[in-house]
Structure 1
Amino acid sequence: MLSFEVCNAARLRRDARYDGRFFTAVKTTRIYCRPVCPVKHPLPRNVTYYPTAAAAEAAGYRPCLRCRPETAPFCPAWNGTRSTVARALKLIDGGALERGSVAALADRLGITSRHLGRLFERHVGASPQQVATTRRVQRAKRLIDTTDDAMTEIAFRAGFGSVRRFNAAFAALYGRSPSSLRASSRGRR
């Protein structure tokens, strides 16, 4: 955490470089703000500084309605819908669509599956299911290139529910079967 003097100087200057790095809590109003808040400056003896909005809220302060501290840089709301897509991608990497549906993923994110699809189209250019399939195929391709495991084992390790889906995904992307891909990569070595 920055020192009181540094925070106080940044607050009095409304220095945007410190926006999101600390939050100003005003003891007399029980409200916390960003350092760039346009309100009249409180007296230094009436302020406390916190490193996060959560810390200020835990201390009993409520967010300012004018500067909206929940939109400070480095917080998820600052990134807007990109933050939701990033969380979805992390869950997909963790296997969310191997064990569940797009609707279940959207439910975990607190949005509808239709909205999730729109966000993916806007930010990723593909549906959540297409992203999951691409990542599974990439994982399988790495296993084909780096291991001598059987294709059945690779299919399941990569996250495919069946060998048939594994073969179909490879045929759709590469135009050939995984075993022919392995044979050609061995021939190049």
Structure 2
Amino acid sequence: MWPNLRNYLALQLLWLAAVAGAGRGWWWAGPVALLLFVALHFGLHWQARGDLLLMLAALLLGSVVDSLATMSGVVHYAAAWPFPSLAPLWILALWMGLGLTLNHSFGWLMRRPALAVPVMALGGPLSYWGAQASFGAVHFSTPPFVGLLLIGVSWAVATAVLAALVLHLRRPAPLSMRGVE
């Protein structure tokens, strides 16, 4: 199987496990699926430069985006464990999984920030809408359009930061850092 397709399908399976699990009250389904994704990913791509950093950056940005959405009352998450007023573990697992795609299946997109920002600003909210409509894992307390718009703006900002990091990581190291003086 092509590596980028395998990477993309792993993210989709993570999404399905996380949101279907959350809809049933299983906060742990997303983190368990993430562990499987991480094991598969690093088992096949341990040399992948920057993947761990991108995963942690996505975790940080996702924590901010979804915790602010929760604290503002725009979004409520099912299986909101461990702290109901912050982003739940299952959605943070999704952000970390997203981080593992940024150099791989989404690498082509992230290297084009002018395209990545609007695509992810639409795709991110559609993911939340799917989680609400299909599994009941996400609930909007405002009219859904308003919540989706706010999530879209948040995803646009997060994508711009992540795309800048992807581009930064792709730059070659200065000669002095490679042992050449």
Larger radius of gyration: 1
Normalization by structure 1: what TM-score?
A: 0.28
Higher RCO, 1 vs 2 (CA within 8 Å, ≥6 residues apart): 2
Structure with the largest fraction of helix: 2
